[in-house]
Amino acid sequence: MARTTPVPASAVSPSSTDFPSGTARPSGRRRGVLASLAAAVLTLAASALTLVPSGAPPARAASSLNQVTGFGANPGNLAMYSYVPQGAAQGAPLVVALHGCTQTATDYYDHSGWSQFADQWGFTVVFPQTSSANNALSCFNWFDSTKDTRGKGEAESVAEMVSYAESHYGSDPHRVYVTGLSAGAGLTADLLADYPDVFAGGAIDSGLPAQCATTETAASSCQTSSQNLTPAQWGNLARDSDPGYTGPWPRVAIWQGTADYTVYPVNAAELRDQWTNVWGISQTASSTQTLSGGTTESVYNDANGNPAVEMYSISGMGHGLAVDPGSGTAQCGSTGAYFLSYICSTYYTATFWGLNSGTPPPTTPPSTTPSTTPTTTPSTPPTSSSSSAPAECFTASNYDQTVAGRAYVAAGLTYADGSNQAMGLWNVLVTHTLKETSPGYYVIADSGC
């Protein structure tokens, strides 16, 4: 994708690639699909899968990834794969996991860690899969309103998969969650907006705000630059996807690497603005803490003090899903193309949704008057809950600040992490001093530091 300034060769993440320019309600939560982002071709090998006869659920004793045919209406021409662990009980939660471009359901099953926690905590996972017949790079079409809106195309196909899981596996319709990577994350955001009555929560990994683009041409702009919308405008894009719905809203986790040059970090800030506004809560974090893998977690609480939106910023990570191979409690997954070793995002997402507790997390009735106050630049620094150490200062070129994870790039310009203060062109000639006032939150401090 084009940048407005020359990019040092060493600044490009090995994971970065260019996407192609791209009245009655049912009693339970209805379902939907988010379109995927177009990413670079991944050379991943697909492994063999067991095909289940039409209408028949996979055998639970097998504890393997199985294809299901005849799951219902399929206007999006998607394939359905499911993983039902041994001993999965009636009324268990359901997770829908969406792969990235040119990946397959098997890739996501093999590397993401979702099957590991499904075994441990007893929930079912559905892995939708698209193909090159739908998109040249096997991307979900997150930017196409004929495919990524309620009742249409890929979104409706995913909704049918959820219905199938509820009827055949006994999945709890009140505990259905959706997550995705890259293009799958774009579709995830759309699904949360299209079907807030279906999904109790979502996780958007290296993705974009719901309905950021409605054409393939506009998709590139969404990926690489700020759209200059207020939180209220972002919130309206989500609310207008299912007019008349008033809540409860999905709980949303946002994962983003600071060195992602495929889906730029500004998208994480826009996602935060969108979903905090939908919830009617502040865009200023209620608390922050530092996790492993250079990760900063910012939590945005609802009116009752319960986490409604969580944003995870991973210093130095490029485009991909964060995994952490190993046998520790909070470790999972395996590395591969676009599966990057930093932190087990799947573990933190699953616990955020309450999948480890056997009961859903508490929810708060939505605000009837969404917030219409836009965030300011710079925003108010969050209060650190993890460190009382004095502020530390770092003087370096804009390029080196981004490499160190203290700033990010959008459309060739540099912005400080946390405060979003503009630092000028992204190169080695412009130098700034950044002060870290709380973990992962930097302000320009060219003097008095």
> Quick one: tokens of 361?
């997390």
| SS3 state at 62 | helix
Residue 396 has phi, psi (to 5 degrees) of: -165, 170
Specify the pLDDT at position 408: 74
Specify the pLDDT at position 448: 61
Q: Of 132, 32, 133, 125, give the one whose Cα is nearest residue 80.
A: 125
CA–CA dist 323, 251 (Å, integer): 21
Q: Residue type at 169?
A: Y
Other Cβ atoms less than 10 A from the Cβ of 385: the count is: 16
> Quick one: tokens of 389?
């150490």
CA–CA dist 256, 234 (Å, integer): 18
Per-residue pLDDT of the chain (449 residues; tens, 9 = 90+): 332 333 333 333 333 333 433 333 343 444 333 333 333 322 223 333 333 333 443 333 346 999 999 999 999 999 999 999 987 888 999 999 999 998 999 999 999 999 999 999 999 999 999 999 999 999 999 999 999 999 999 999 999 999 999 999 999 999 999 999 999 999 999 999 999 999 999 999 999 999 999 988 899 999 999 999 999 999 999 999 999 999 999 999 999 999 999 999 999 999 999 999 999 999 999 999 999 999 999 999 999 999 999 999 999 999 999 999 999 999 999 999 999 999 999 999 999 999 998 655 555 443 333 333 333 333 334 433 333 456 789 898 887 787 677 887 766 678 888 788 888 887 777 888 988 888 778 889 866 67
Specify the pLDDT at position 12: 32
Which residues lie below 8 Å from residue 203, measured CB to CB, with a gap of 6+? 177, 178, 179, 180, 188, 252, 253, 254, 255, 345, 349, 352
> Quick one: tokens of 213?
């683009």
| SS3 state at 364 | coil
CA–CA dist 195, 204 (Å, integer): 15
| SS3 state at 324 | strand
Residue 50 has phi, psi (to 5 degrees) of: -85, 130
Q: Count CA atoms within 13 Å of residue 430 on its CB side.
A: 17
> Quick one: tokens of 310?
């969580």
Does residue 179 contact residue 166 with C-beta atoms inside 8 Å? no
Cα–chain center distance at 116 = 20
Structure pTM? 0.71
Does residue 281 contact residue 303 with C-beta atoms inside 8 Å? yes
What ranges in 62-142 are assigned the alpha helix state H?
105-111, 114-121
Does residue 344 contact residue 323 with C-beta atoms inside 8 Å? yes
Q: Which of 15, 16, 182, 438 is catalytic?
A: 182
Which residues lie below 8 Å from residue 132, measured CB to CB, with a gap of 6+? 138
Peptide bond into 231 cis (omega under 30): no
Q: Which residue has the tokens 């096997």?
A: 138
Specify the pLDDT at position 100: 97
CA–CA dist 245, 129 (Å, integer): 29
* 282 is annotated as an active-site residue: no
Q: Of 211, 274, 278, 281, give the one whose Cα is nearest residue 246.
A: 278
- CA distances 152 to 24, 68, 77, 142, 146, Å, are 18, 21, 11, 12, 6
